Amino acid sequence: MRVLIGFECSGIVRDAFARRGHFAVSCDLLPSEAEGNHHQGDIFEFIEMTRGCWDAFICHPDCTYLCSSGLHWNKRPQGIAIDRQARTDAAIAGVERLFKLEDQFKYFCLENPVGCIGTRIRKATQWIQPNQFGEDASKNTGLWLHGLPPLVPTKHIAPRVVPSGPYKGKLRWANQTDGGQNREGPKPDRWLTRARTYSGIGDAMARQWGIL
């Protein structure tokens, strides 16, 4: 299979397919973090340049202005809220542009955490969690699929139980605080590390979709 992975600089999904013998290329505005087939540049320009070359297109558009965890900032009265709403609108336009490309590929997947894509464009085909694929983490993630079957969970990782305090008895995974927030602390590349696809999900994509 010839697989194009859009908006990926980690190489996680690309390398999962490559390990199983497929020709996989990632494309992102950032350079690849791992050695492998990678095009640094605009995904839409690259698709136009390579039209007809791909069997599958799996894309992970930036969720910064799309995911539920950040959308509450759009309603704040400060001036920054206006800018954030404009950026959300631009991000939605980018996703709509990606959906218009799906008929160019036999197989298409758009991946994004829970947010406004489902309410402003269309509902996801399925929702998955990394803890269904061998990862000690919680991240409610939607898959919008065309020509692909839903992913089948591979290995469930049980949560911990908060032992005491106001959240006593709540179920949490390793990437969560007792209150349910993400443990990743403030830093310049926080958005990048939180956006990475979990390896367990990338492996499941390659194993289950690579045999179609």
Task: Look at residue 181 in the predicted model and tell me its pLDDT.
Answer: 84
Give pLDDT, residue 102.
Answer: 95
Q: Which of 102, 132, 124, 118 is nearest to 208 (CA)?
A: 132
Do 57 and 35 meet the contact criterion of CB atoms below 8 Å apart? Answer: no
Whole-model pTM: value is: 0.89
Tens of pLDDT, residue by residue, the chain (212 residues): 999 999 999 999 999 999 999 999 999 999 999 999 999 999 999 999 999 999 999 999 988 777 756 545 556 555 555 577 778 888 899 999 999 999 999 999 999 998 888 899 999 999 999 999 999 999 999 999 999 999 999 999 999 999 999 999 999 999 999 998 888 765 556 556 667 899 999 999 999 999 98
Intra-chain end-to-end CA distance of the chain, in Å? 9
Domains of the chain: 2-155+196-209 (3.40.50.150)
C-alpha distances in Å from residue 129, one per residue of 43, 106, 174, 185: 26, 25, 13, 21
Contact at 8 Å (CB) between 184 and 194?
A: yes
The DSSP symbol for 37 reads S
- What pLDDT score was predicted for residue 145? 98
